Amino acid sequence: MPIAGIGSRFIALLVDYLIWIPGILIVGRVFAYFLPSLSAFNKLSEQWAFAIYLFLIFLFNWGYFTIFEAFWNGRTPGKRVARIRVIERSGRPIGLFESMARNFIRYVDQIPFFYAVGAIAIFVTKDHQRLGDLAAGTLVVRDRIEEAPVNSENTRTFTANIFTPTVAAPEPHAAFTLPDHGVAKLSSADLQVLEGFFARRLDMPLETREALAQRIASAIQAKSGLEPPPGASVETFLEITARQLRDVARMQR
């Protein structure tokens, strides 16, 4: 998934603070309302009361980002608006531990003012990671924008029946078949690798996509002894392999 830039991260942070700051003000008003009775009951000094208030601000700030990211699929309300999310480097969803770690280091990223250290880290790291991301092993990525399917029933005209419907051309991989003994040497893990590549290839730069396809094809050939059929491209070879692996998996159920 494409890495989020500093602009979209700034928008997300701005929206989150527009939500967080009123929450802090409410906590402050509530604390100030109960402070006189609390001080009288427990004989607390003003310094202790102020320390408790700072601790509540810390919990509210840290908990806001931690809980949302851990239990809302790596997103806070601001990240949802900016269409970005936090994931692990492996591509898996972020967990509670990673969310706690990256948001605890947030206080270092904020030094000396408004995320100066974090902004510098984002600029100098390859994957635009602030210190919290480096510590937790996370990335901030952009969400894919899913296009709504066109409802063919609502777009048909009264002349649609006059024309002969066009027949979709068969997929290139449907014209080829690989030897079964070679396919049998592959496993479900190999099919997962192929499915992962197919799911992400449209989001990759062309050079990266071609290099990764060649790498996967070389690994499959070394493991199975299969060779691409004459006239088939590398990606077609991968599609043929995936198709036959799916057939094997269905037969084993």
Query: In this predicted structure, what is the pLDDT of residue 226?
Result: 85
138 shares its domain with 201: no
Please state the φ and ψ torsions of residue 132, each to the nearest 5 degrees.
-60, -40
Answer yes or no: is 161 within a domain. Answer: no
Q: Among residues 127, 147, 150, 146, which one has the least CA distance to residue 137?
A: 127
- Give every CB contact of residue 65 below 8 A, 6+ residues apart in sequence: 16, 76, 99, 103, 106
25 shares its domain with 131: yes
Answer yes or no: is 152 within a domain. Answer: no
Share of the chain above pLDDT 90, in %: 21
60 shares its domain with 127: yes
Query: In this predicted structure, what is the pLDDT of residue 118?
Result: 87
Query: In this predicted structure, what is the pLDDT of residue 236?
Result: 86
Q: What is the pTM for the complete model shown?
A: 0.54
Query: In this predicted structure, what is the pLDDT of residue 148?
Result: 46
Please state the φ and ψ torsions of residue 149, each to the nearest 5 degrees.
-65, 145
3-state secondary structure of 44: coil
Query: In this predicted structure, what is the pLDDT of residue 172?
Result: 61
Phi-psi domain of 177 (left: phi exceeds 0; alpha: psi -120 through 50; beta: other)? beta
129, 89 in Cβ contact below 8 A? no
180 shares its domain with 100: no
Answer yes or no: is 51 within a domain. Answer: yes
Answer yes or no: is 165 within a domain. Answer: no
The pLDDT tens digits for 52-93 are 778 888 888 888 999 999 999 999 999 999 999 999 988 888
State the Cα–Cα distance between residues 23 and 252, nearest whole angstrom. 55
Give the number of domains in the chain: 2
Answer yes or no: is 147 within a domain. Answer: no
Query: In this predicted structure, what is the pLDDT of residue 185?
Result: 86
The pLDDT tens digits for 27-51 are 778 777 776 666 655 555 666 777 7
Mean pLDDT of the 12-24 span = 89
Query: In this predicted structure, what is the pLDDT of residue 45?
Result: 62
Pick the more confident residue, 117 or 156: 117
The pLDDT tens digits for 161-214 are 444 555 444 556 566 788 888 888 888 888 888 888 888 887 778 888 888 888
Q: Which domain, by its residues, includes 226?
A: 172-252
**What are the tokens at 249?**
């998996």
- Give every CB contact of residue 96 below 8 A, 6+ residues apart in sequence: 66, 70, 71
Give me the half-sphere count of Cα atoms (radius 13 Å) on the Cβ side of residue 17.
8
Query: In this predicted structure, what is the pLDDT of residue 159?
Result: 47
Q: How many residues does the chain have?
A: 253
Q: Among residues 126, 137, 129, 125, which one has the least CA distance to residue 100?
A: 137
State the Cα–Cα distance between residues 189 and 185, nearest whole angstrom. 12
What confidence tier does 246 reach under pLDDT thresholds 50, 70, 90?
Answer: confident
Mean pLDDT of the 143-159 span = 52
Answer yes or no: is 35 within a domain. Answer: yes
